[in-house]
């Protein structure tokens, strides 16, 4: 339908009388874009062939290639896994990178499931930035075999397992074969239950629960973070090394797979370190599960009160961002006590180390130095001493308003290793199983050693080696990438952090002071040494 428009030329210079009702009829299109199709009835209409019509559901269009969907819709719709068109823009997901001027069938999309909003956004945004940097490095240096380019669909998990699983379903429906994420262990287990049956390759940069290495996942779940079996051993050995030896330790445990998994491995290791009944454990709910702030204050306040009654020498928080609230609540109770008990040592596990500085910043300046001397953190080693520096410089230049944090290098490595695995496949794309099988060619200790710190030429070096039939042994910005091909795990050491004041101030700085050197494989135990 077209709308006829009358234009009355009433100007005297045109020689038309004022009584002329219409001098010219122009047949204008009803629309030229979707914006022209707004209507008083608030109906969802789109502009197709210059007419406003009801949108066609992508799932109603059969396809065999992305170009089939592009011809009917736009660049945000691809040929999905069920042989029908599927959107890349969904409730949880957004099309973040699409190379310009590239035909639809020449783009291979990666997906990501990371917390971009919500409680864990401060953790997820640096991971997303690092992933973007890896994609830009790759696309700016080379292409996938067949001249294909890399696109990226970024999904927001909001830090919740249910949202992460929903995002995984959306990506799998769109036919995406490789996903980076999620960030949290609880999310990753739920996502793996979606992606593994769908045949999708999944690699998490930061999920560390021991359980992830034991999933029945068709060898499709991988990670660049370490395994928490090592972290539990390191925490136990660090507690044993404290002087004076502690008699009472309280573990505040996040009630999810990360916290409970750590506790399962830590508790038996502390039996030979502490006196009988020397370990108290208190479960707490994840911070984003409360309906309102009053519910949070009620539960966390109760846990802190229980902790205070146990009179601990050491408080270990086996959790993540909640560590800030829990420790600050404890300090508030401690400061009001009369008499005050000795101030315990606070020990943060890997997911909580990132908030250590903010805990110190939450107390009075006069107390900061005292608190820094009583707090430390333990995390999986995630920065290679040689290769991380060049990455950090490039990250800072590319994202000047966002700090890399502790884990950005893990996301860069997870993304880059996925792209390099795709580089080994004919045509530059394949199924999730084919991507997983290609990981063996990137983790061959007898292969050509390639470091991510050698400038971006390392990308073409890997591609050329793979094209010639060789294998490589990768060294990423986070360290060695020698994956266990059965579990998808990396064997990583631990780093022990202290909090120290920046010279001349009371501002805290997280500083690496110890390293947990692992015993020969396959041991998860080791020895703490000072740096």
Residue 40: pLDDT band (50, 70, 90) is low
More confident of the two residues 35 and 65:
65
More confident of the two residues 455 and 44:
455
User: Is the model's pLDDT at 3 over the cut of 70?
Assistant: no
User: Is the model's pLDDT at 2 over the cut of 50?
Assistant: no
Spatial CB neighbours of 456, under 8 Å, sequence gap ≥ 6: 137, 140, 141
Residues 289-297: what's their mean pLDDT?
94
Query: What pLDDT does residue 48 have?
Result: 79
Encoding tokens for residue 274? 């502490």
Residues 341-349: what's their mean pLDDT?
98
Range with the lowest mean pLDDT among 1-5, 433-437, 439-443, 463-467?
Answer: 1-5
Q: Report DSSP letters for 52-110, one per residue.
A: EEPPPPGGGSB-SSHHHHHTTS-TTEEE-TTSBEEESS-SSEEEEE--TT--GGGEEEE
Query: What pLDDT does residue 55 have?
Result: 81
CA 363-266-308 angle, 5° bins: 40
244-258 tens-digit pLDDT: 999 999 999 999 999
Euclidean distance between CA atoms 296 and 289, whole angstroms: 9
359-408 tens-digit pLDDT: 999 999 999 999 999 999 999 999 999 999 999 999 999 999 999 989 99
The three-class DSSP label of residue 284 is strand
Residues 37-59: what's their mean pLDDT?
82
Residues 401-422: what's their mean pLDDT?
97
How confident is the prediction for the chain on average, in pLDDT? 93
Range with the lowest mean pLDDT among 15-24, 174-183, 378-387, 418-427?
Answer: 15-24
Query: What pLDDT does residue 25 have?
Result: 54
Euclidean distance between CA atoms 447 and 463, whole angstroms: 13
Residues 300-317: what's their mean pLDDT?
97
153-205 tens-digit pLDDT: 999 999 999 999 999 999 999 999 999 999 999 999 999 999 999 999 999 99
Residues 124-151: what's their mean pLDDT?
97
Cα distances (Å, whole numbers) of residue 365 to 347, 362, 371, 509? 21, 9, 10, 14
Query: What pLDDT does residue 475 have?
Result: 97
486-509 tens-digit pLDDT: 999 999 999 999 999 999 999 999
User: Is the model's pLDDT at 319 over the cut of 70?
Assistant: yes
Q: What residue ranges define each of the domains in the chain, with the CATH number in brackets?
A: 3-53 (no CATH), 88-224+388-480 (3.40.50.2300), 228-381+493-530 (3.40.50.2300)
User: Is the model's pLDDT at 287 over the cut of 70?
Assistant: yes
User: Is the model's pLDDT at 131 over the cut of 50?
Assistant: yes
User: Is the model's pLDDT at 438 over the cut of 60?
Assistant: yes
| Start-end of H helices in 320-424 | 322-336, 356-361, 365-372, 388-398, 408-423
Query: What pLDDT does residue 45 have?
Result: 86
Residue 26: pLDDT band (50, 70, 90) is low
| Cis before 6 (ω within 30) | no
Query: What pLDDT does residue 56 have?
Result: 85
Query: What pLDDT does residue 41 have?
Result: 65
Residues 347-353: what's their mean pLDDT?
98
Bridge partners (DSSP) of residue 518 are 526
User: Is the model's pLDDT at 1 over the cut of 90?
Assistant: no
Residue 473: pLDDT band (50, 70, 90) is very high
| Contact (Cβ atoms closer than 8 angstroms) between residue 394 and residue 404 | no
Residue 115: pLDDT band (50, 70, 90) is very high
| Contact (Cβ atoms closer than 8 angstroms) between residue 462 and residue 450 | yes
Over the range 33-58, which residues count as b (16 or more CB within 10 Å of their CB) and which as e?
Answer: eeeebeeeeeeebbbbeeebeeeeeb
Residues 316-326: what's their mean pLDDT?
97
CB count within 10 Å of CB 133 equals: 22
Residues 104-121: what's their mean pLDDT?
97
Query: What pLDDT does residue 375 have?
Result: 98
């Amino acid at each position: 339908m077209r709308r006829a428009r009358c234009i009355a030329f009433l100007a005297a210079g045109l020689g038309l009388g004022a009584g002329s009702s219409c001098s010219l009829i122009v047949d204008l299109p009803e629309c030229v874009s979707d914006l022209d199709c707004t209507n008083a009835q608030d109906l969802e209409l789109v502009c197709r062939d210059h007419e406003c019509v009801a949108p066609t559901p992508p799932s109603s269009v059969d396809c065999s290639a992305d170009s089939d969907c592009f011809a009917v819709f736009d660049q945000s719709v691809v040929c999905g896994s069920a042989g029908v068109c599927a959107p890349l823009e969904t409730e949880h997901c957004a099309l973040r990178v699409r190379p310009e001027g590239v035909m639809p069938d020449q783009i291979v999309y990666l997906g990501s499931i990371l917390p971009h909003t919500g409680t864990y956004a401060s953790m997820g945004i640096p991971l997303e930035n690092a992933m973007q940097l890896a994609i830009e490095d790759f696309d700016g240096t080379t292409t996938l075999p067949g001249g294909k380019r890399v696109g990226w669909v970024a999904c927001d998990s909001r830090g919740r397992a249910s949202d992460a699983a929903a995002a995984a379903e959306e990506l799998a429906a769109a036919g995406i074969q490789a996903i980076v994420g999620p960030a949290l262990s609880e999310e990753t287990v739920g996502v793996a239950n979606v992606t593994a049956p769908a045949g999708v390759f999944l690699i998490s940069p930061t999920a560390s629960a021991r359980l992830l290495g034991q999933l029945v996942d068709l060898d499709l779940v991988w990670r660049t973070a370490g395994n928490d079996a090592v972290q539990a051993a390191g925490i136990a050995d660090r507690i044993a090394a404290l002087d004076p030896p502690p008699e009472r330790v309280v573990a505040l445990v996040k009630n999810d797979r990360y916290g409970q998994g750590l506790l399962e491995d830590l508790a038996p290791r502390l039996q030979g370190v502490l006196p009988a009944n020397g370990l108290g454990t208190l479960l707490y709910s994840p911070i984003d599960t409360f309906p309102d702030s009053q519910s949070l204050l009620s539960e966390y306040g109760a846990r802190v009160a229980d902790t205070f009654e146990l009179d601990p020498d050491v408080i270990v928080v086996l959790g993540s961002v909640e560590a800030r609230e829990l420790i600050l609540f404890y300090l508030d109770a401690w400061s009001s006590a009369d008499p005050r008990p000795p101030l315990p040592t606070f020990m943060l596990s890997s997911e909580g180390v990132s908030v250590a500085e903010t805990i110190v910043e939450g107390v009075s300046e006069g107390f900061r130095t005292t608190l820094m001397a009583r707090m430390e953190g333990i995390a999986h080693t995630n920065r290679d001493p040689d290769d991380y520096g060049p990455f950090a410089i490039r990250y800072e230049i590319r994202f000047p308003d966002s700090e890399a944090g502790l884990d950005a290098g893990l996301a860069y490595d997870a993304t880059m290793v996925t792209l390099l695995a795709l580089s080994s496949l004919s045509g530059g794309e394949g199924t999730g199983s084919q991507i997983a099988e290609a990981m063996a060619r990137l983790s061959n200790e007898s292969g050509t050693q390639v470091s991510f710190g050698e400038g971006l030429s390392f990308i073409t070096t890997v591609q050329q080696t793979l094209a010639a039939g060789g294998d490589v042994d990768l060294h990423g910005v986070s360290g060695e990438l020698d994956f266990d091909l059965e579990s998808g795990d990396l064997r990583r050491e631990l780093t022990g952090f202290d909090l120290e004041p920046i010279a001349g101030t009371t501002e805290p700085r997280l500083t690496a002071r110890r390293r947990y050197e692992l015993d020969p494989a396959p041991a998860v135990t080791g020895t703490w040494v000072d740096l």
